[in-house]
Structure 1
Amino acid sequence: MAAQEEFFTGIPKIPYVPSAGPGDVMCFKHYHAEEVLMGRKMEDWLRFSVCYWHSFCGTGADPFGSPTLHRPWNEGTPMESAKKRLRAAFEFFTKLGVKYYTFHDRDMAPEGSTLEESNRNLDEITDLALQLQSQTGIKVLWVTCNLFAHQRYMNGAATNPDSHVLAYAGAQVKKGLDIAKKLGAENFVFWGGREGFLSIHNTDVAAELKHMANFFKMAVKYKEKIGLKCQFLIEPKPKEPCKHQYDYDAMSVIGFLKHYGLESHFKLNIEPNHTTLAGHSYEHDIVMASALGMLGSVDSNTGSPDLGWDTDQFPMDIKNTTMVMKTIVQQGGLQPGGLNFDAKVRRESTDLEDLFIAHIGAMDTFARGLRNAVRIIEDGLIAGMVKERYSSFSHGIGQKVEDGSATLEEMEAFIKQNGEPKVTSGKQEKYESIFNHYI
């Protein structure tokens, strides 16, 4: 029977083997789900999630080549393969030992010739998903709607110059929110894949931004109407496929949300590969969003900044994951968000075991980053140095600046009394050397 079919034959549940050698890649050497760090289990700090689209819908095709990943679950009619794909995915989640997954509506079920047919397909497949979730205890970290792939969205969805297209996007999001409630999703993500412009000559930027804001307000109202208890997230990206996308980076999105009075309804889902596309460092948008209380979740991948496009690689750099986890631990965790592996195996990595190896390696990399971050925070050396660097704001004129009561007249009086400030070293190299001690 199809229900009993095993897709990853010969691969057992991935064990934790800290003594494993460098060639042993089918076990965790650092990720120990039950290990407690700073009062919380490792699995609860990390909240790992597997993304459905890359791992189970990906074919390895790229603009220069045909598919290379020929998966056993892609056989049969579109609905038959959708059911096989879902069962394969839950087998993978269970053997890998993760508790969450994410998906686009059109990954889960094939799009029909009408909205009604698409919705029926989605209902049928999510009935099976609900059954598999109940059997395994695996949950949905977040749902999102694919408002960029179909040709109707070639000029955008919520920012389309044609209100008919915007209405279709709204109908699709309505169904997506219904599915999120049905499956108990903890978050719902909006990624504006084509919300931007390719040419400013044919674009009314002010109108498009207003329409996008009103689209989000409709989603907020419907979420409240149906009693959906989940966090709304917006995922920034600066370019690709558009020349310029409105959700350029963390600060652009936060400015947009505050301008339109939406900041209390949304947080950000940061993808570091998108951050580097915007010309920032890997951890930049995670740090900026967290500093303003807006970091909700992380799409945990990486890229090659020298290439200049979104390569969606699995994260394997321990310095990067240490910086990310330091920020996450300092803000008290990501819940209800998590670390979602929005990453794909390379088109040359064609074996089914490569899918496991990639996730295991990335999970271990984040586990090491978590342990490093905890040591940095518990030791307190760097935090103490930073506190000392800003110590002048704890008293006198600095305290007045800190609490917002200072005036320019007081600034002038202070300088007349105290004269030229003594410039002190920033000690950048010292901070970097100390940070390297923990890696």
Structure 2
Amino acid sequence: MTTPFFDVDPILFDGPDSDNPLAFRWYDADRTVLGKTMAEHLRFGVCYWHSFAWDGSDIFGAGTLDRPWNPASRTGDAAMDPMAAAKLKMSAAFEFIDKLGAPFFSFHDIDIAPAGGSFAETCRFFDEMADEAAGHMERTGIELLWGTTNAFSHPRFMAGAATNPDPDMFAYAAAQVAHCMNATHRLGGSNYVLWGGREGYETLLNTDMKRELDQLGRFMNMVVEHKYAIGFQGTLLIEPKPMEPTKHQYDYDVATVHSFLQTYGLADEIKVNIEVNHATLSGHDFHHEVATAVNAGIFGSIDANAGDDRLGWDLDLFPKSVEQMTLGMLEILRGGGFTTGGLMFDTKLRRQSIARDDLFLGHIGGMDTMARSLLAAASIIEDGEIDRRRADRYAGWSNEQRILDGEVTLQALHDAVLGDETFDPQPVSGRQEAIEHVVARHIERIR
């Protein structure tokens, strides 16, 4: 089946001075930065759901995007067989990703295959489409960054999946996750993501929080057990999100997820996939969430997108703030960079961006933003001024390690201060504005 869906040539690097909208200005895949190529540092991926499964619909209106595999986009045409539509969609997806030059993609199970009349038929459809994906992957060299299960859209999951009060819903979700994990393993996925879309509550009046958390903890342990049972070598990831669709979600932010993992004996088994817009919704900066994950030893992967501080829902904008992403990339580089993770564009077009090449323009802009941010972060690290300033703030502790080692008691400190009449510590400037301007200078001068 041929699908000349995108009348666009492969996207190439033209350099910062280019005015070609269908070319990269900053992302030069083979350029070496801190000993690795940009492609190795950034590990870009295209999401299947927003880019190919979504038609532009929202809660206020029908879809607006021209997608020939979507029945709503085929005005006057005969209805397309669901599997034929899925194959057309997949062919277009790999055509797009290949021309964009992104090395990875990611999917939910329901993104790539239609639902059947039973779970068994749904699995057969999914397996056939996974085989179809394997063929496209072999042909193009595109790899799977991660697979995941949509256990939140269907009405059966309106009260959650793992946290559902009905054990039959728990069982259905477990079966769905197991089948998708098997396919992810078969396709050589680098990771498997668990996003608890409805693992939370609307009101405590009808919610037993302890019971639901215990259910979620058992579910995640079952996922770990299945990983080893099938020999999956990838990383398991939880994606934190504070709200929407539930009022309060159990995976609120990185710190909450880390606490959950420690409570249920999973801290050495599961890491986090951090979404930039979810960090915004939780009231945190993106780089705060990255640093928290790195410090806890659970940093895994990134959904590279953006939100809006004035709008309290998940917008999934393409990233465009070089300053915001530079601070995030700085923490990623400080933490050693990606291993199995990468930068997945969990992003979607605006409903008015209906031209087919808008999908290219959005991704090109996002990739350039991240590439420029990588260059700025690398420049900051190579320069060393910020790290020196930070180290100087804590220099006094170099002679007081015995306090942190537990060799000094509270009473001993009391007695030492009480006995020294000259003891009068004075505050020192944190130089925040100066450091912020250092970041700005690095962003301005990179080439």
Q: State the TM bucket, normalised to the shorter chain.
A: over 0.9
- Give the CA RMSD over aligned residues: 1.2
1:356 matches 2:354: no
Residue 415 of structure 1 is matched in structure 2 by: 417
In structure 2, what is the Cα distance between the partners aligned to 1:378 and 1:124?
A: 49
Q: How many residues align?
A: 433
Residue 161 of structure 1 is matched in structure 2 by: 165
In structure 2, what is the Cα distance between the partners aligned to 1:293 and 1:401?
A: 24
Q: What is the CA-CA distance between 1:332 and the residue it aligns to? A: 1.3
Q: 1:12 aligns with which of 9, 13, 32?
A: 9
1:120-131 matches, within 5 Å, as 120-131=124-135
1:152 matches 2:149: no
Q: Is the 8 A contact 2:55 2:70 kept in 1?
A: no
TM-score normalised by length of structure 1:
0.96
Q: 1:91 aligns with which of 77, 80, 95?
A: 95
Residue 63 of structure 1 is matched in structure 2 by: 59
1:214 matches 2:218: yes
Q: Is the 8 A contact 1:73 1:88 kept in 2?
A: no
Q: Which amino acid in the other structure matches residue 56 of structure 1?
A: F
Q: Is the 8 A contact 1:28 1:360 kept in 2?
A: yes
TM-score normalised by length of structure 2:
0.95
In structure 2, what is the Cα distance between the partners aligned to 1:235 and 1:282?
A: 13
Q: What is the CA-CA distance between 1:324 and the residue it aligns to? A: 1.1
Residue 43 of structure 1 is matched in structure 2 by: 39
In structure 1, what is the Cα distance between the partners aligned to 2:319 and 2:174?
A: 34
Return 150-159 or 275-284, whichever deviates more. Answer: 275-284
In structure 2, what is the Cα distance between the partners aligned to 1:434 and 1:131?
A: 48
Q: 1:408 to 1:219 in 2, by over 3 A?
A: same
In structure 2, what is the Cα distance between the partners aligned to 1:168 and 1:405?
A: 54
Task: Give the 3-state SS of the residue equivalent to 1:364 in structure 2.
Answer: helix
Q: Which amino acid in the other structure matches residue 415 of structure 1?
A: V
Q: Which amino acid in the other structure matches residue 9 of structure 2?
A: P
Q: Is the 8 A contact 2:178 2:226 kept in 1?
A: yes
1:271 matches 2:275: yes
1:292-307 matches, within 5 Å, as 292-307=296-311
In structure 1, what is the Cα distance between the partners aligned to 2:415 and 2:91?
A: 72
Q: Which amino acid in the other structure matches residue 32 of structure 2?
A: V
Runs of 4+ in 1 over 6 A off after TM superposition: none
Residue 77 of structure 2 is matched in structure 1 by: none
Q: Which amino acid in the other structure matches residue 69 of structure 1?
A: L
Q: What is the CA-CA distance between 1:307 and the residue it aligns to? A: 0.8
Q: 2:23 aligns with which of 7, 27, 44?
A: 27
* Deviation per residue, 1:292-350 (Å, 9 max, x gap): 22110000000111011110000000001101111111111112000000000111000
* Deviation per residue, 1:198-256 (Å, 9 max, x gap): 11100000000000000001111111011111100000000000010010011010011
Q: Which amino acid in the other structure matches residue 118 of structure 1?
A: T
Q: What is the CA-CA distance between 1:21 and the residue it aligns to? A: 3.5
Q: 1:399 aligns with which of 398, 401, 404?
A: 401
1:125-204 matches, within 5 Å, as 125-204=129-208
Residue 322 of structure 1 is matched in structure 2 by: 326
Q: What is the CA-CA distance between 1:399 and the residue it aligns to? A: 1.2
Task: Give the 3-state SS of the residue equivalent to 1:103 in structure 2.
Answer: strand
Q: Is the 8 A contact 2:16 2:26 kept in 1?
A: no
In structure 2, what is the Cα distance between the partners aligned to 1:267 and 1:208?
A: 21
Return 131-140 or 426-435, whichever deviates more. Answer: 426-435
In structure 2, what is the Cα distance between the partners aligned to 1:401 and 1:176?
A: 50
Q: Which amino acid in the other structure matches residue 417 of structure 2?
A: I
Task: Give the 3-state SS of the residue equivalent to 1:73 in structure 2.
Answer: coil
Q: What is the CA-CA distance between 1:415 and the residue it aligns to? A: 2.0
Return 151-160 or 400-409, whichever deviates more. Answer: 400-409
In structure 1, what is the Cα distance between the partners aligned to 2:42 and 2:333?
A: 10
Q: 1:405 to 1:339 in 2, by over 3 A?
A: farther
* Deviation per residue, 1:100-152 (Å, 9 max, x gap): 00000010111212110110000100111011111111110000000000010
Q: Gapped runs of 5+ residues in structure 2?
A: 72-79
Q: 1:434 to 1:257 in 2, by over 3 A?
A: same
In structure 2, what is the Cα distance between the partners aligned to 1:317 and 1:280?
A: 16
Q: Is the 8 A contact 1:393 1:402 kept in 2?
A: no
Return 335-344 or 105-114, whichever deviates more. Answer: 105-114
Residue 118 of structure 2 is matched in structure 1 by: 114
Q: Is the 8 A contact 1:315 1:365 kept in 2?
A: yes
Task: Give the 3-state SS of the residue equivalent to 1:283 in structure 2.
Answer: helix
Q: Is the 8 A contact 2:34 2:378 kept in 1?
A: yes
Q: 2:381 aligns with which of 357, 360, 377?
A: 377
Q: Which amino acid in the other structure matches residue 302 of structure 1?
A: A
1:331 matches 2:335: yes
Residue 75 of structure 2 is matched in structure 1 by: none
Residue 283 of structure 1 is matched in structure 2 by: 287
Q: What is the CA-CA distance between 1:48 and the residue it aligns to? A: 0.3
* Deviation per residue, 1:161-220 (Å, 9 max, x gap): 010100000010110111111101000000000000011100000000000000001111
Q: What is the CA-CA distance between 1:20 and the residue it aligns to? A: 4.2
The percentage of counterpart residues that share the same residue type is 44
Return 273-282 or 169-178, whichever deviates more. Answer: 273-282
